[in-house]
Amino acid sequence: MINNWDDFIQGEKAKDYYLFLQEFIAKEHSSGKIIYPERGIFKTFELTPLDKVRVVILGQEPYHSINLLYDDLTSWAGQGFLCRNTIFTVEDGKPLSHQNKGWEVFTENAIKLLNTNKDNIIFLDWRKTDNSLLETSHLLSFNRANEILRNRGEKGIDWVLKERNYFI
């Protein structure tokens, strides 16, 4: 049984879908395309150990422009928060450009691992779907997640971003 992110990631990297994905990204880079993020694709897994995950937010994809807002969510990771986009990479200025290239399989396998290894994880789905807007509002999701944690006798997540000192 896999009980840490490193073993999981290494196992996924050996699978055919991931080899195809890496080949696709390498071709994108070699053709001169700018791909985000430039580094740290698996940083969220490094910051939130598998056995410490309490709340997971599933997003769509990384910001597709350097000019879009990016916040450092490191302070949340230490509290058991895992924020993971379903699609881990994207071409500059082209939303969903890496959709259906393999990242969704990786994400699905990570969710299965979480569900196998840990009970009572709170999942908040912020992905856009074909027939709806965002499934939840951010503020409502944060408050609801903390309510569930506190009802279980756990400490809630401090959602204030320290560097900017505002509530996201």
102-147 residue pLDDT tens? 999 999 999 999 988 888 888 887 765 543 333 444 555 788 889 9
Q: Could you tell me which CATH number the domain at 5-167 has?
A: 3.40.470.10
pTM above 0.85, yes or no: no
Of 83, 157, 73, nearest to 127 by C-alpha is 83
Strand pairing category for 166-167 and 160-161 = antiparallel
Is residue 63 within 8 A of residue 92, CB to CB? The reply is: no
Q: Where are the domains of the chain?
A: 5-167
Element (H, E) at 42: none
Assign 132 to helix, strand or coil: strand
